[in-house]
Structure 1
Amino acid sequence: MTPSSEPALAITFAAIDVAKQVHDVLIEPPAGTRQRWRMVNCQHDYVVLRQRLHAFQTPVVIGFEATGTYHRPLAYFLHQCGFELRLISSLAVACTRDTVYNSWDKNDLKDTQVLLHLLKTGISQRYHDPLVHAVNDLQELAQTHFQVSLRKVQVQHSIMTHYLPLYFPEAERYYTNSRAAWFTRLLHRFPCPAAITRYSPETFAQEAWTIVGRKVSKRGFLHDPYLTAGQSVGLPVGEESEAIQMFRVILVEHQQLCARRAAIEQQADQVLSGQPDYQRLRTLPGVGPILALTILAEAGDLHRFPHHRQFLKFCGFDLSTQQSGQFRGMSRLSKHGNARLRYAFWMAAQGAVRMRENTFREK
């Protein structure tokens, strides 16, 4: 082969160890010694970093490790300045640091050197900025829905494991669906057996008639809680006691969380209803508005993956096999990709297998 007469393109590599308040920067120019300094997470130091990088008058490639969301403002600023950004895997950083230094010690000095080494050897991936690619709003919707749902589960757990066992343990058998809002409304109106038995059966049925919603044989359905309240083993506390007032505070919070979650689901459906990818995802069995939102928020533009295997690897659904000599282990999912995407598809599969009419039920 004839050696190429074209000179190699001079590139300046910059590795940034991101933290909440102070970032460590290590720069290796094409010629000269490495430069290291610490910068504060503020606009002044952002401008200084931009000026120092432009001063090299060469293409600049910047690598960093995702650290929570602390890297997002700096990465957006550098992207707007026209620099090429590369994301380096935390797993790759940890394994390389242990291999290079043969120790478990971890500090910012070593991290920037490892980041620079991985950046120069090409062990990195293209950084996909959520704000630039218009998925930041979707991510906030998905994250807020997750936090509201998590808090709802915590409050619901408190109701089922603390308040009901103390004051009305027999009422738990009427709880059949986590989305049945009538149950907490009924408990808020009648939080203890004394709140029910102070009425006659007919008066109780009249008071609770509009609360429980549509039921088959509603009168018979309401007669059973009345009999149960008369035989309850719960603590004999009054409806106006401080304990029951605190119980009602928790019930009100549960109702507010349910309403807030439903509002976010409706808002997500309105925002995404015009997107073709969202409409295609909704045709899959088990995929509802929130799962489709989560998939689009975490994956971004699905068309940026040229092959479906790249998307599977991004999710962590690619197969991994342990092999050594004559031994070959069982192929399993690598689970090294986006955990939220795997969770969304797992939830969709759980819903699909319970549906009566779909092909997933037979597999």
Structure 2
Amino acid sequence: MVVQAVPVCSSTVVVAIDVGKTEFAFSVTDASRALLLKPRTGCPMTGSSLTRVVADIVDVLRVGAMVKVGIEAAGHYHRPLLHAAWPDGWEVLELNPAHVTEQRRVLGKRTIKTDVIDLQAMTELLLAGRGQPVRDRSLALGELTAWSAHRTGRVAIRTATKNQLLGQLDRTFPGLTLALPDVLATKVGRLVATEFPDPARLTALGSTRFIRFGATRGLQIRKPVADRIVQAAREALPAADAAVARAVLAADLALLSDLDAQVDQATDQLARILPSTPFASLMSVPGWAAVRAGNYGGALGDPTRFDNHRQVYRTAGLNPIQYESAGKRHDSVISREGSVELRRALIDLGMGLWLNDPAAKAYGAQLRARGKKGGVIACAMANRANRIAYALVRDQNTYDPARWLKED
């Protein structure tokens, strides 16, 4: 159930709070837009400071005042204030920074960004009834978001490390990628990168002993593969600074091993947490396992914030830019305004459907036959995945392929 903000009335008093890294600014305004407390900046982000601020606000309140506290989202910096010990009866709302920026433009101050002007924009939004009510966040959802973000970050670092590692391999063992197109995706490739960055050692070892070397480490190497790798070692022309590259390569391999372990740990944590969240039913969909479902849940957060799947799609910035005038309408590219994490999660869910669900495969083939490009098909699959995911989370049902045979 979506929670709506309490309507603004004549007794409403709004407290706008602009949060920084270690400080915050605030102002207090009534429904007639009269300042009850002038904007105050530089308030330390501490418990004692917040207590003094609350006391000052209480001193200027009239009897029967209905207080709305609006806090602009600022990454993780604003979170301590969201769940601070505000007085009973005060409504705490979270404001979208994009809405605050747009409101500054409405006020004619788009290029002037100060704490005071931000407070003015936030005050106008609160008096207009904007803002998302803050609810007690379940521990499971918080864990899901944290582990999803942790895994995503480690995967990005791992990708960069692999790219650097391959660059070092090209200097120490040029030509290896001709024998093994994807070195780091295979066990034998990892073995060569770790144990034989110097092709001269592998040349001296030969194919037969290389196969035995792998067997002692629990790896079965086929003779054609071994011959191909040893031949590449014989013909390799290492760079002059190959010795330095081998030292850097060893450090990168140690880092890569640690990153692999951290990614695996985060994946295990997502699999552990998901069953206790509203997103458990997503794993009943073909191609949606712990990682895809966990990334979607971590990016979406509390699903009760959304009235329908269209809101989720817009929040992800996947809706097309639309221009309509004089009865003519033109839809352009996707807006890309919104949550990058949610957009990536939905596209990934769509890819999972496209690769594993028969109905989605057929739909993708239809789009391809109509001449649609890959990016367009990916967005169409994300749209389909968004509707399926929203319905499953809302109804807490498992996936029924028969319900989604026809594309709406």
Q: Do both share a fold (TM > 0.5)?
A: yes
Whether the aligned pair in 1 keeps the contact of 2:100 and 2:122 (CA below 8 Å) is: yes
Per the TM alignment, residue 270 of structure 1 is displaced from its structure 2 partner at its CA by: 1.9
Whether the aligned pair in 1 keeps the contact of 2:168 and 2:248 (CA below 8 Å) is: no
The range that moved more, 299-308 or 336-345, is 299-308
Per the TM alignment, residue 350 of structure 1 is displaced from its structure 2 partner at its CA by: 2.3
Distance 1:140 1:102 in 2: 36
The range that moved more, 321-330 or 333-342, is 333-342
The range that moved more, 40-49 or 293-302, is 293-302
Percent identity, aligned pairs only, is 20
1:220 maps to amino acid? P
Alignment partner of 2:271: what SS?
helix
Distance 2:89 2:319 in 1: 33
What residue is the counterpart of 1:207 in the other structure? 213
1:121-180 superposed Cα distances (whole Å, 9 cap, x missing partner):
123333356x456421111101110111111011001012x2122111212241438654
> 181, 197, 205: which one pairs with 2:203?
197
Change (3 A) 1:79 1:339: farther
2:250 maps to amino acid? R
> 154, 163, 168: which one pairs with 1:163?
168
Change (3 A) 1:247 1:95: same
Per the TM alignment, residue 210 of structure 1 is displaced from its structure 2 partner at its CA by: 5.3
Structure-to-structure mapping, 1:73-84, within 5 angstroms:
73-78=80-85, 83-84=90-91
Whether the aligned pair in 1 keeps the contact of 2:202 and 2:230 (CA below 8 Å) is: yes
- Give 5+ residue unaligned stretches, structure 1: 1-7
Whether the aligned pair in 2 keeps the contact of 1:14 and 1:25 (CA below 8 Å) is: yes
Distance 2:90 2:276 in 1: 33
Change (3 A) 1:274 1:165: same
What residue is the counterpart of 1:340 in the other structure? 341
Whether the aligned pair in 2 keeps the contact of 1:194 and 1:236 (CA below 8 Å) is: no
Whether the aligned pair in 2 keeps the contact of 1:183 and 1:212 (CA below 8 Å) is: no
What residue is the counterpart of 2:100 in the other structure? 93
Whether the aligned pair in 2 keeps the contact of 1:50 and 1:78 (CA below 8 Å) is: no
Per the TM alignment, residue 248 of structure 1 is displaced from its structure 2 partner at its CA by: 0.8
2:182 maps to amino acid? T
What residue is the counterpart of 1:255 in the other structure? 257
Change (3 A) 1:212 1:82: farther
Alignment partner of 1:14: what SS?
strand
1:51 aligns with 2:51: no
1:61 aligns with 2:64: no
* RMSD of aligned residue pairs (Cα, Å): 2.8
1:277 aligns with 2:279: yes
1:338 maps to amino acid? S
Distance 1:206 1:309 in 2: 59
1:180-218 superposed Cα distances (whole Å, 9 cap, x missing partner):
455334311111202312313322221123558456xx1
Change (3 A) 1:243 1:47: same
Per the TM alignment, residue 114 of structure 1 is displaced from its structure 2 partner at its CA by: 0.9
The range that moved more, 226-235 or 294-303, is 294-303
Distance 1:212 1:348 in 2: 35
> 226, 229, 241: which one pairs with 2:233?
229
Distance 2:35 2:276 in 1: 53
Change (3 A) 1:59 1:224: same
What residue is the counterpart of 1:309 in the other structure? 310
1:37 maps to amino acid? R
Distance 1:34 1:53 in 2: 8
2:261 maps to amino acid? A
Per the TM alignment, residue 287 of structure 1 is displaced from its structure 2 partner at its CA by: 2.0
What residue is the counterpart of 1:300 in the other structure? 301
Distance 1:326 1:25 in 2: 45
Distance 1:106 1:301 in 2: 31
2:284 maps to amino acid? T
Query: Between Structure 1 and Structure 2, how many residues are aligned?
Result: 349
Whether the aligned pair in 1 keeps the contact of 2:31 and 2:127 (CA below 8 Å) is: no
Change (3 A) 1:12 1:295: same
1:90-126 superposed Cα distances (whole Å, 9 cap, x missing partner):
2222222123135512111111111111111123333
Whether the aligned pair in 1 keeps the contact of 2:140 and 2:276 (CA below 8 Å) is: no
Per the TM alignment, residue 326 of structure 1 is displaced from its structure 2 partner at its CA by: 3.9
Distance 1:80 1:200 in 2: 77
What residue is the counterpart of 2:128 in the other structure? 121
What residue is the counterpart of 1:5 in the other structure? none
Distance 2:92 2:145 in 1: 21
Whether the aligned pair in 2 keeps the contact of 1:85 and 1:126 (CA below 8 Å) is: yes
Distance 1:157 1:88 in 2: 39
Alignment partner of 2:71: what SS?
strand
Change (3 A) 1:236 1:211: farther
Using the size of structure 2 for normalisation, the TM-score is 0.76
Per the TM alignment, residue 333 of structure 1 is displaced from its structure 2 partner at its CA by: 4.4
Alignment partner of 1:286: what SS?
coil
What residue is the counterpart of 1:360 in the other structure? 360
Distance 2:77 2:54 in 1: 18
Distance 2:126 2:31 in 1: 14
Using the size of structure 1 for normalisation, the TM-score is 0.85
Distance 1:263 1:210 in 2: 28
1:252-281 superposed Cα distances (whole Å, 9 cap, x missing partner):
111221122112112211222355632x21
Change (3 A) 1:275 1:17: closer
1:147 maps to amino acid? G
Distance 1:30 1:236 in 2: 75
What residue is the counterpart of 1:106 in the other structure? 113
